[in-house]
Amino acid sequence: MKDYLKNLNIKEDITSIPNLLSLFRLFLIFPYLIVILNAEKRTDFYLAAAIIVASGLTDFLDGYVARNYNQITNLGKVLDPVADKLTQLALAFSLIKFYPEMLLVALVLVGKECFMLITGIIFINKGLVLNGAKWFGKIATASLYIGMFGLLIWPHNSIQIIKVVVAIMLFFLCLSWLLYAREYILMYRKEETK
């Protein structure tokens, strides 16, 4: 972990286009929260959804620019997922105001991300790192964004629809958590047999 932190060149890396886009995504959390937590009319929900769309576009752009223009940095490897996770958490917790059922999604999301952070740090200290996001993590992220975005642009749904959307998000979050735990167990066993 100390070696990884030594390789961070914050002064140079902060000015790369992908990292500036990630910082912009972090900034977008604040106007989103102001709009959604004060939302009264349907147009307020649409504005909050538009901010999330802008955040998603910058997420796509920072990855595209980093990969295609050789601007991948160690800072970006930290900043991009932090922006993703904080945006997801802001969405999940802010929607509890309108959909109390979202509390369970928010708590599972926090549990999963704490597990990933703690396990990741433990494994980095052992010199082991997972090779990028796995397909099940990407599906969980997609289901979260689609579900929460749907709740934003179609506010005041019936309780049955809300429960189905929440159940789908919970299913994919839990599946991702279990499969990541399995990946870490397999990686640990493989290292132990060396």
**What pLDDT is attached to residue 11?**
58
Residue 115 sits at φ, ψ, to 5 deg, of -60, -45
- Residue of 68, 62, 54 lying closest to 22 (CA atoms): 62
Q: How many CB atoms lie under 10 A from the CB of residue 87? A: 23
Q: Which residues contact 182 (CB under 8 A, 6 or more apart)?
A: none
Euclidean distance between the first and the last CA atom of the chain, given in angstroms as a whole number:
22
Q: How much is the pTM? A: 0.87
Is pLDDT at 12 greater than 70 in this prediction?
no
- Residue of 56, 32, 62, 58 lying closest to 45 (CA atoms): 32
Model confidence pLDDT, tens digit, residues 94-150: 999 999 999 999 999 999 999 999 998 888 888 888 777 789 999 999 999 999 999
Rounded distance, CA 188 to CA 72, Å? 28
Ordered by start, the domain boundaries in the chain are 1-84, 99-193
Amino acid (one-letter) located at 94: S
Q: Cβ(120)–Cβ(187) under 8 Å?
A: no
**What pLDDT is attached to residue 33?**
97
Model confidence pLDDT, tens digit, residues 138-186: 999 999 999 999 999 998 778 999 999 999 999 999 999 999 999 999 9
**What pLDDT is attached to residue 3?**
54
**What pLDDT is attached to residue 58?**
93
Q: Cβ(19)–Cβ(75) under 8 Å?
A: yes
Model confidence pLDDT, tens digit, residues 48-91: 999 999 999 999 998 888 889 888 877 888 888 899 999 999 99
